[in-house]
Amino acid sequence: MSTLTQKPASRRSVPRWSSAVQFAGVFLGIAGMGCTNPLQEGAIADLGPESPAIPLGPLHRPGQPCLVCHDGAEATELTVAGTIYERADATKPIPDVLVHLVDARGTAYVTATNCAGNFFVRPGDFTPEYPMRVAIERDGFRQEMESPVNVDGSCASCHTNDPSPRSAGRVYLLSVAATLEDRCP
């Protein structure tokens, strides 16, 4: 499905010296890895400092694009992660929401949100092959995402707090009048 092949035609006409150029490119790439990636650094800085009230861990940074940091270098690698809110227009996160993920191979994985509304998936548990389908569920309420996720495991890359031409708004469970039992302190 995702095997990538080069067009052979573009290989044949490559002159000799280009392998030297390629070698230099690889070398530069490696040298570059020692330094930080300015784009990622900027993206991380944009997310602001940790909240002093919340320890670094599963409950931190709700609503943020977790994988910006959780790439295995900057912080522990996660493959899919995000935050789920009660309603589209409310800031209240909800726990115990089941997050159903089904990848291109048809492999299904289910996890649940914690008291920050956060959920996260570790690579040893599930590394999806994209595209991936998403649905969420609790107490008989269910929401499905119609379009698939094609490459990005951070829900908040597309679901930022404010809806805009490039954001679907928060991920929310309730679209009808209902109340959920409060299960968090």
Provide the binding-site residues for ligand HEC, judged by CB under 6 A: 44, 47, 56-58, 60-62, 64, 66, 68-70, 75-76, 80-83, 99, 118, 120, 134, 136, 143, 145-147, 149, 152, 155, 157-159, 168, 171-172
Give the tokens for residue 151: 């490459």
Examine residue 148 and tell whether it contacts another protein (CB under 8 A): yes
* Neighbour count for residue 132 (Cβ, 10 Å): 22
169, two tokens:
């708004």
State which of residues 20, 53, 164, 183 lies at the interface with another protein (CB under 8 A): 164
Closest CA to 65 of 50, 82, 86, 42: 82
Interface with another protein includes 46 (CB under 8 A)? no
Give 124 or 165: the residue with its C-beta nearer to another protein: 165
For residues 167 and 88, is the Cβ–Cβ distance under 8 A?
no
Q: Is 168 helix (H, G, I), strand (E, B) or coil?
A: coil
**By the 8 A CB rule, do 93 and 62 touch?**
yes
Whether the CB-CB separation of 79 and 153 falls below 8 Å is answered with: yes
Name the minimum Å distance from CB 29 to ligand HEC.
24
Phi-psi region of 117 (alpha: psi -120 to 50; beta: other; left: phi over 0): left
**Least Å from the CB of residue 1 to ligand HEC:** 18
* Site map (CB under 8 A) of another protein, residues 95-134, x = contact: -----------------------------------xx---
**Does 2 help bind another protein (rule: CB under 8 A)?**
yes
Residue selected from 12, 16, 105, 166 as contacting another protein according to rule CB under 8 A:
166
Record the tokens describing residue 144, joined without a space.
């499905």
